[in-house]
Chains A and B, each alone.
Chain A
Amino acid sequence: MKIENKLEKIKERFSKVIVSLEEKTKNRIYIEISPDCIFEIANFFKELNFRFAIASGVDTPSGIEILYHFSDDKSGKIITLRTLIKDKKDPKIQSITPIIKGAEWIEREIWELLGVNFVGHPNLKHLLLKDDWPEGKYPLRKEKNE
């Protein structure tokens, strides 16, 4: 299936939850979605043979953004799912590890560095930081500097 058809299918199926879809520069597509439906979309992406590359967590003034980067290796495009978790006090989002094993480590990393709780993660424990790292201290949160 060509990437254009794949994108059409995504638009068709998730028309209600997609906030925006744009190809910012050549081969870099960004799709903004609401965080509640990440599991369904990730599952659909897996069916479309997109390869999960990595997720980036970003602390912004309006909330914690998580970008899930998927790669379509046939067309060389990177499809990035952008989600914004507005509740910074207790951020949570559904884990995609049960369907994509390769997401296990990065979800653990975002959990410990940004404090996002991945609901349904089978093994949510420290990856890079030591086990007795103080609770509630998140190295990549911006407010620590203030």
Chain B
Amino acid sequence: MSRKIIPIGPYHPLQEEPEFFRLYVEGEKVVDIDIVLGYMHRGIEELSEHKHFDQVTFTVERICGICSNSHPFAFVNAVENLANIEVPERALYIRTIVAELERLHSHLLWLGLAGHFIGYNTVWMWAWKYREPILDCFEMISGNRNHYAMMKIGGVRRDILDEHILFLKKSLKEVEKGISIFEKAVRNDPVIGARLKNVGILTKEEAINYCVVGPTARASGIDIDVRRDDPYGAYDRVSWNVIVLEDGDIFAKTLVRILEMYESVKIIMQCLDKMPKGEIFKEIREIPAGEGIGRVEAPRGECFHYIRSDGTNRPTRHKIRAPSYMNVASNKIAAVGGTISDAAITLAAVDPCYCCTERTVVLDKNTNNKIISAEELIKLSYEKTKKLKRALYGDFIS
């Protein structure tokens, strides 16, 4: 059979960020894939060498719009490792709370996009509905829905007040209800099962060979989590579990993320109760010469920062390794052998960083008026799900 090339990207309506996948296909089957990067290269490692240490925290926050807390967190961990700084206890708890809130909103965002990619927009709408209260929490704590600017070398920049705690707990209870809806939906919905089970499998051997991290690794049976293995923040002061599943398919990747959200809620609730009173940062005047490594478990996996200083107020080298750097390469294994229609969700299953919004509006060409309302759209997606269910299980399931 002749081999054809299907390009996805670099600018493609399916993707929110420019990345270029060249799919080599024979009929319906994907036989090879080329991944071309560099469309988003902004030279932040170099930029960071021209800023002083306090400014770098904000520079690295701009690397990513979704996990905008993970990079500053890893950076301050690296500098604190370099300079041997003890951080006040309360700051450690606040850092943990912010990091876990971020994991919640990031996983919900991914869940929504995953639903969208398999053409199941109900999942998208519901997941993003429950993401909203988390963003409200962020706005209350930091003043921003994103780019919270909470991290600072030696502590955090803003405190969590007592009146915030009540609101946080209320919002988290609401979100927890949402998570259990998603868990039931993903476990029981035949449509989701049909689209995700045994699709885009990454075996344990390949996952080790490609050095993947985070939920992508944990869904392939690799038991790693920086929060437990190399504790930072207040993770060693609260009890929680690392979620590991064995199957390596997209269904497992989805389930890992959903079950992880329960753990995040658990961690935040304990932190809110245990958080001691006191200082939220320690004044740091000088960073000595030396080198340090900091890492955090970002929503997508281990985020790695290496810092070298010569004793001036700027780093001489700042190496940044985001989790997607390791995970995206594994698409070569996951997507090859599957069909073209599964490629969209497979390429999205490692949760590459997407940070834009999507809206669906159908317009009448002549009058430019909206001809489909949101209610109608939801109705349409209900009908589609019903149709798929009927096709799978016959008429006796409504």
Contact = CB atoms under 8 A, between A and B. Distances in A.
Nearest to A58: B317
Contacts of B293: 28, 69, 78, 80
Nearest to A78: B293
Contacts of B231: 76
A89 interface: no
Interface stretch (B35-43, B256-264, B360-368): B35-43
B45 A140 contact: yes
Contacts of B292: 25, 28
B38 A53 contact: no
A51 B317 contact: no
Contact of A76 (B81, B210, B230, B304): B230
Contacts of B84: 25
B275 interface: no
A20 interface: no
Interface in A101-115: 101-106
B306 A52 contact: no
B45 A52 contact: no
B319 interface: yes
A131 B325 CA distance: 20
B100 interface: no
Interface in A53-86: 53-54, 56-58, 67, 69, 71, 73-78, 80
Interface in B292-347: 292-293, 295, 302, 304, 306, 308, 316-317, 319, 321, 325-326, 329
A129 B41 CA distance: 8
A52 B329 CA distance: 14
B203 to A, nearest CB: 13
Contacts, number: 82
Interface residues of A, number: 35
B230 A128 contact: no
Contacts of A54: 304, 306, 319, 321, 325
A34 interface: no
Interface residues of B, number: 35
Contacts of A80: 293
A130 B209 contact: no
A127 B291 CA distance: 27
A25 B291 CA distance: 10
B308 A58 contact: yes
B317 A105 contact: no
A102 B306 contact: no
A43 interface: no
Contacts of A28: 81, 292-293
Contacts of A74: 229
A102 B329 contact: yes
Interface of A: 24-25, 27-28, 51-54, 56-58, 67, 69, 71, 73-78, 80, 100-106, 126-130, 139-140
Given A28-B293, A103-B211, 15 more contacts: A25-B84, A25-B292, A51-B224, A52-B211, A53-B302, A53-B321, A54-B304, A54-B319, A58-B308, A58-B316, A69-B306, A71-B302, A78-B293, A104-B329, A105-B329
20 contacts: A25-B292, A51-B208, A53-B304, A54-B304, A56-B317, A58-B308, A67-B306, A69-B304, A71-B302, A73-B223, A74-B229, A75-B229, A76-B231, A78-B230, A101-B211, A102-B326, A104-B329, A105-B329, A128-B41, A130-B38
